[in-house]
Amino acid sequence: TSEGPQVIPSYSSSAMSEAVVPDAMVSPAVGGPYGEKASGPGVDFSYVGIDAILEQMRRKAMKQGFELNIMVVGQSGLGKSTLMNTLFKSKVSRKSVQATAQEKIPKTIEIKSISHDIEEKGVRMKLTVIDTPGFGDQINNENCWRPIMKFINDQYEAYLQEEININRKKRIPDSRVHCCIYFIPPTGHCLRPLDVEFMRRLSKVVNIVPVIAKADTLTLEERDFFKKKIREELRANGIDVYPQKEFDEDAEDRMINEKIREMIPFAVVGSDQEYQVNGRRLLGRKTKWGTIEVENIAHCEFAYLRDLLIRTHMQNIKDITSSIHYEMYRVRRLNENNTVVAHANGMPEHHLAAHEM
């Protein structure tokens, strides 16, 4: 469902560098196809124009638009809807659009998604927010990760079926979950068994970004201790959250991502309420002793989360989904199909193993 005009000031199209080419297109008699002069002092005759590919890619990307699918997981009351609205500075969460007078906690986990077309500075993006009401809200939360795992794999399966069609679409609709934001309750102590089990299983199939929800309930000392404790528990349980160390492409990537890994989980505060503070309008939470500024890094780490998801790593998150998580699913499924076909044709097991090698 596409909701009216929605503008997000945070997302910028400057991520892709533009080729430096003159504006005017002149005839070959006067100059080259990109307007460079054919003669005269100061002309670089060694210029070929390879850098113009960047401008071509930018124009194509602007025409096609972008897709981003974000899943939010956590028990009710942790501010998932508010944080999504804060991230995109629009009413993008399911509750904002489909609010009921009194929403009851479902008896089983439901997966609900809602899509929006948002635009900023000529850049169009189809944003899909996937919510998981009912997660962690039951008396017995055993295996509550399974419906979410099934949903993620179902999106991979739908993409795979489109991909292996003989007459496949020029551009396959991408419903794959690019990122899962996991909300940790601000207990200040340690991760719950539910948190560990969910992230341990789901980190193998999707990019997980853990956040400490409603971090303004913790003092700075409690927050730092809690973050350190969570990082230790993630390492102890072999949980690899985004950005994964093994996928760093080079030394520069590693240096940038190490700084992010040292900050995980992000201690965030969400708010879609605007307040006037010292003559400035800003998003925040007003209390008796002052206003918590959502985008002030001295108050919380929301700005770091926004930069990671939108301004610096959005394309990388999508690339890892496509080239790592989806690829692993695709290989497994195609191997399963080969096994089924081989058994149907009566091929012995050792022949099948030799064939797969």
Kindly report, residue by residue over 5-57, the tens digit of the pLDDT.
Answer: 444 444 444 444 444 444 444 444 445 555 444 555 667 788 899 999 999 99
State pTM to two decimals: 0.81
State pLDDT tens for residues 211-226.
999 999 999 999 999 9
Residue closest to 116 by CA, chosen among 61, 66, 63: 66
pLDDT at 351 over 90: no
**71-110 confidence digits (pLDDT tens):** 999 999 999 999 998 999 888 887 766 655 556 777 678 8
Report which of 288, 239, 292, 241 is spatially closest to residue 266, judged by C-alpha positions: 241
Structure tokens at 335: 């191997």
**Mean pLDDT across the stretch 326-352?**
79
The structure tokens listed for 11 are: 């997302």
72: β partners: 131, 181
Q: Please, what's the b/e burial string for 1-37 (b: 16 or more CB within 10 A of its CB; e: otherwise)? A: eeeeebebebbeeeeeeeeebeeeeeeeeebeebeee
pLDDT at site 348: 61
Q: What are phi and psi of 271, to 5 degrees?
A: -165, 135
Q: Which amino acid is at 158?
A: A
First to last CA, the chain: 46
C-alpha angle 267/273/274, rounded to 5°? 105
pLDDT digits (tens, 9 = 90+) for 54-78: 999 988 888 888 999 999 999 999 9
Q: What's at 350, amino acid-wise?
A: H
3-state secondary structure of 225: helix
User: What average pLDDT does the segment 162-175 reach?
Assistant: 91
Nearest to 270 by CA among 71, 93, 67: 93
> How confident is the prediction for the chain on average, in pLDDT?
84
Helices 146-163 and 326-344: angle between axes, nearest 10 degrees: 70
pLDDT of residue 30: 46
